[in-house]
Chain A
Amino acid sequence: MMQRAVLSRFKKPCLLALALMFFFLLTSLEVAGNTPVAVHDLAGLLSPEQGQALEETAQDIYERRALRLFFLTITDAKGKSSRRYASDFLEGKTEAHEDAAVFLLDMDHREINLVTQGEAIDRITDAKEEALYDLAMTPLQAKDYAGMAQSVFARIDRYFEGEIPQENYRVSEETLKKERRLRVMDLLMGGVLSLFGGGAYYGSQRKQYRFHPKTPRYALHKNTRFHFAPHDDPLLDTKTRVRHIPRPRPSASGGSRGRSTVFRSSGGRTHGGGKGRGF
């Protein structure tokens, strides 16, 4: 009787401790991997093996690029648009400063959608996004969802090779104008130019204030007198030569090589040729 009382007394704390241990175990598994699970197949479109392979691909990319890639499949968008669902998902899984992208296969809206973040925005331009959709369409139509995700991940991995092209820029969707922002390059260039400009001004002024020695002017002709006997130089010899002057060759190339002169017809179209030749 007494034993039962003791047991019931410790039952609640023990269960609580076990629950806590289980919770910590679960969370620590995610922390140990240092990356959240990449594949969230809520629509159940992948086999466990396919999910595992995709997970390994994402982990490999993360280790090399510090880029978090997610593949998300859903059947219910919970009233959200695909883009909204994907961006909410990404914000839930990553920090704002992280470079990340989620590729969503939305069976609810029957839509694929790629949402990017951080450096991925600059690397995956609108054109590249379209190229990724193009890439995804063929396996998608063949219902090879794993193959589609693998191809998309591999292509994104390639987009992260090398530096971000200088000509890449951001455009605000609301204003459709180029997004104005300062880049590190602007700061560096500004710093270097300001140092150079300020330094050059300082140096030039210092130079101006220094003493620059000058050789005094000397009027050589005015101060020179000649005492020479008059001379009459005898002619010793005369030689005459005749030289043929080569004609300048007509310029074969000039600056007009490859040029086509065009004119506009009355109909407004552009044409070439039409010079004619008289005879």
Chain B
Amino acid sequence: MSPHSYQCPHCGAALSYKPGTAQQRCDYCGADVPLDSIPVQEAEPPEQADLREYHCDNCGAQIVTDPTSTASQCYYCHSPVVLVDRLSGDFAPDYVLPFQIDEAKAKQLFRQWVKAKRFVEPGFVSERQLEKLTGIYLPFWRGHAAIDVHLKGQGWITKRRRSASMEHIEERIFGIERKGQMEISNLFELAYLKKDKIDPALITSIASYDSEALEEFRPAYLSGFQAERWNLDKEALQPALRQRAQDYAEAMLHDLTEGYDRVHFDERRVEGRLDRMEYVLFPAWLMTYRHQEKTYVFAMNAQTGEAFGELPMDQKKLMSWSAILGLIILLLVLIGGYFL
């Protein structure tokens, strides 16, 4: 079974998704091909796809991937490949947020991010290291919750009026009853866990994506990038999503009693459930760097350019600077002590 490689209708070379557009680009002849003009290949059930061996349809070499990878490239001819049969059934994404930041822009943003940090290990910002910057689609679950709300109680509105040395306080008390539903949508949870490789907190930190830019999923968006499929199923993440929906609903209750200075509820019911969950892919630029037996991971939101990660430090340089600063302070104190 061959993985799917999108081919240029003009020259036959492999196509990659062009970030920020609805097109694919041929790196060989430079042609831009609309996504709509590319047929979607029929996928096979994922149970069989997991056991398959893939071969590049460009050079025939075997494609080696992690079991959770759904898009990669051929290690021999570097042709982008999409393992479409791994994107079917439960693993078929509902939506994808296409890359908005291309590789050149990601490198530029990375350099800007590191620029102000003078103690970064020089190897971390080398051109050779930047070649390891990888565009990857990460799997998330999107939840939509419905919260039933019933509030019954009193609300107070207080008005104060002053005349000479007297203050007139008028307090009006109203009966309040609110019964209805809150719909809370676009609750996202990372659906991917690789403890030894990437800290989930790092991926979660970059996940401030604007869900309005989500597109219906098309495998062609993955071409030219890496992609992972979920390994945390929706049932496992439902409690966390439900809890978040509940917390958000509690935070929104004051909107229901706007205008009152103080409220008291005799009856208060706020109960939520997840209406539906969708499988979405978000884009990120990732880079790993090995320094002194430790792996440093850099991650960037490929929609907003927001970057996170621990930076490898040039310890000798930092210690020298700290020592110089200490000596300057010592010198200043001694000069001060001598002259004062």
Contact = CB atoms under 8 A, between A and B. Distances in A.
Contacts of A205: 119, 313, 318, 321-322
A195 B329 CA distance: 9
B273 to A, nearest CB: 14
Nearest to A247: B165
B309 interface: yes
Interface string B14-47: 0000000000000000000000000000000000
A216 interface: yes
Interface in B189-213: 199, 201-202, 204-209
Contact of A236 (B168, B173, B205): B173
Given A195-B326, A220-B252, A211 B308 contact: yes
Interface string A205-246: 110111111111110110111111101011111111111110
Interface stretch (B73-81, B103-111, B174-182, B219-227): B174-182
A199 interface: yes
Tell me whether chain A's interface is mostly helix, strand or loop, or mixed. Answer: mixed
A182 B338 contact: yes
Contacts of A198: 322-323, 325-326, 329
A216 B188 contact: yes
B180 A229 contact: yes
Interface residues of B, number: 69
Contacts of B155: 233
B173 A241 contact: no
B330 A209 contact: no
Tell me whether chain B's interface is mostly helix, strand or loop, or mixed. Answer: mixed
Given A205-B119, A210-B310, A241 B169 contact: yes
B87 to A, nearest CB: 25
A118 interface: no
Interface in B264-322: 308-313, 318-319, 321-322
Residue with the greatest number of chain B CB neighbours at <10 A, chosen from A206, A216, A235, A242 = A216
B117 A208 contact: yes
B238 interface: no
A139 interface: no
Interface of A: 180-183, 185-187, 189-191, 193-195, 197-199, 201-202, 205-206, 208-218, 220-221, 223-229, 231, 233-245, 247
